[in-house]
Amino acid sequence: MSIAGIKRLMLSWSKFYLESPMAVSFYNFTDLHHKGFREDIKSRISKIIDDGSFVEGEFNGKFEKEFALKQGAKHCLLVANGTDALEIALAAHGIGPGHKVGVPGITFYATAEAVLNVGAEPIFIDVDPVSACMCPESLKRVMKEHTINAIMPVHIYGLPAPIKALEAVCQPAGIPIIEDAAQAQGTFVDGKPVGSTNNFVTFSFYPTKNLSAFGDAGAILCQDDELATIVKTIRNHGRGDANRLGRNSRCDHMQAAVLDLKMKDIDGYNQNRKKIAAWYNEALKELDVEILPEHFVESSSWHLYPIKLANVDQRVGLQEHLKSQNIGTTPFYERAMSQEKALGDYKGEDSVAKSLAGRLLCLPMNPFLTKENVKEVAKEIANFLS
């Protein structure tokens, strides 16, 4: 190739790299599981193998103690996954066949699934149009039509559900509350960490969560000694001090070792998420998309950063445009609970949930995003809208 040809090729490459969009990942496992972390966890896992302590070991107890303290709970009980946490919490309250449980009209399928798996019936409670969290006024209306035996509000996207307002409705009627905090490690409710109420609070530590394992794991937090004893019995085949049948829902020692190791970094990572959410708010405030109010910046865990589009078609179009620019997004959630085929026959109210379904798009959110990443995302949203 001639020198002139080489210069043209170099100019072409230069132009490509300067004009190509910045790739912005939805998740970032590479930086999360950096070299130092990988070395530390390999050392822990090697020790677990050498000791032969595979199911319950020192890291289970260590994590339970530290996580309970961090979240303001008296008890932390590790279980096999977040869905088991919901089911065991329901069972510990005696919820089963013939009972009705209020669940938000829009959430991940597992919330309603857990109710069905214990033999109870989900009843839909509508959600707030801004936060998509369970609406106390809807709960009041639904309770006039149905005998509700428990409710399961979800801290969806990591946004704090209105627990005090829900307690004001439920406590006089003796209705237990099970908080689904699968997305909410790092969330604060009324200035206190999720887990510090007198309710059961359940967590998932699925690999994509703020605090995550290398596979499935979950936990139940509570303040009540008797309920903690029941959970311990149920999670281990009924072996324990409570007279209950149980199941196999023990958290294996390797997952507990991962969670325990990640605890030292989680506060910093969650602070990064809040900072990134504030960057997004600033970058998007002049665009024709609906963002969450500023007051959520400090209270949310920012497990996800959702924006609301005018309609489903606009959401689909924006998602495709961002994908073409190497920007990862996910539409949590495309359907309301009642629009899922297996749940279409259940009752309640969910008109707001249906109006939100499919219009929300979650932008990249992980603790390693830079301000330039956020600006790139905002620029491409502006390009699409214009």
- CA dist., res. 363 & res. 356, Å (int): 16
Q: Please, what's the largest Cα pairwise distance for the chain?
A: 86
- CA dist., res. 228 & res. 361, Å (int): 38
Per-residue confidence (pLDDT) for residue 22, from 0 to 100: 58
Two tokens at 186? 């790092």
248: β partners? 236
Amino acid, res. 318 = L
Handedness of CA 211, 213, 215, 217 (dihedral sign): negative
Per-residue tens of pLDDT for the chain, all 386 residues: 444 444 444 444 333 333 344 589 999 999 999 999 999 999 999 999 999 999 989 999 999 999 999 999 999 999 999 999 999 999 999 999 999 999 999 999 999 999 999 999 999 999 999 999 999 999 999 999 999 999 999 999 999 999 999 999 999 999 999 999 999 999 999 999 999 999 999 999 999 999 999 999 999 999 999 999 999 999 999 999 999 999 999 999 999 999 999 999 999 999 999 999 999 999 999 999 999 999 999 999 999 999 999 999 999 999 999 999 999 999 999 999 999 999 999 999 999 999 999 999 999 999 999 999 999 999 999 999 99
* Bond before 109 cis per omega within 30 degrees: no
- Is residue 36 classed exposed, middle or buried when 0-12, 13-18 and 19+ CB atoms within 10 A define those classes? exposed
Beta strands per DSSP E along 135-281: 150-151, 178-180, 188-189, 192-193, 200-204, 218-222
φ/ψ of residue 79, rounded to 5: -135, 180
Q: Are 263 and 67 in contact (CB under 8 A)?
A: yes
Q: Are 362 and 332 in contact (CB under 8 A)?
A: yes
The model carries a pTM of: 0.93
β-strand 100-104 against 121-125: which pairing, if any?
parallel
Amino acid, res. 244 = R
Measure Cα distances from 259 to 27, 62, 76, 205, 363 in Å: 18, 10, 13, 8, 26
Q: Tokens 């960490």 sit at which residue?
A: 193
Element (H, E) at 23: none
Residues contacting 137, CB < 8 A, separation 6+ = none
β-strand 218-222 against 200-204: which pairing, if any?
antiparallel
Two tokens at 87? 């089911």
φ/ψ of residue 80, rounded to 5: -70, -30
User: Which one, of 352, 301, 311, 351, lies nearest residue 331 by Cα?
Assistant: 311
Cβ atoms < 10 Å from Cβ of 51 = 11
Two tokens at 138? 């809807």
Two tokens at 245? 């049948």
User: Which one, of 271, 118, 255, lies nearest residue 188 by Cα?
Assistant: 271
Kindly provide the b/e burial profile for residues 190-223, where b requires at least 16 CB atoms within 10 angstroms of the residue's own CB: eeebbbbbebbbbbbbbbebbbbbeebbbbbbbb
Two tokens at 340? 């899922």
